[in-house]
Amino acid sequence: MVELESLRTRAEFDSVFAQGKRWRGRYINVVFLVDTCIDTDRNVLGTPRLGIAVARRFGNAVERNRFRRRVREVLRTLDFPAGSYFVSPRLPCDAVSFAGLRDDFTRLCVEGLGCRTKKVTHER
């Protein structure tokens, strides 16, 4: 399993949005910036950094937090390259299953990032 760092400052989010690539899945939108030269005080080279934003319209607090936990767990279990990832939902949080998130992230890894990861579909 991989440890995740968080995108914390406005500058980090702005750089991801300005230079990153956008990818739209079935359940999520992802902006990713694959960077190899990150060297800040608290970030270790080779560590994926994650930012998640879920608006209130996607569900109550319990559902939004469940979505965040699921996204973090999927990124921990899949082998993603180092970089910065911003994730937001496309559907209400109660309509997004863990298997659907895993499928979307696997397709992102294969199609968007060009990783050598096997495609997983509807794994339960």
Please tell me the pTM assigned to this model: 0.78
Cβ atoms of residues 86 and 32 within 8 Å? yes
Residue-range domains of the chain with CATH = 5-112 (3.30.230.10)
Average pLDDT of span 8-14: 91
Q: Summarize pLDDT for 88-101 with one digit per residue, the tens.
A: 999 998 888 899 89
As a whole number of angstroms, the distance between CA 72 and CA 48 comes to 11
17 phi and psi angles, rounded to 5 deg: -70, -35
Cβ atoms of residues 67 and 87 within 8 Å? no
Percent pLDDT > 70 in the chain is: 80
Per-residue confidence (pLDDT) for residue 122, from 0 to 100: 45
Q: Summarize pLDDT for 56-87 with one digit per residue, the tens.
A: 999 999 999 999 999 999 988 887 778 899 99
Per-residue confidence (pLDDT) for residue 83, from 0 to 100: 86
Strands ordered across the beta sheet of 84-89: 5-6, 49-52, 84-89, 28-33, 21-24
- How buried is 35 (Cβ within 10 angstroms: 0-12 exposed, 13-18 middle, 19+ buried)? middle
The DSSP-derived string for 75-112 is HHHS-PPSSEEEEEESS-GGG--HHHHHHHHHHIIIII
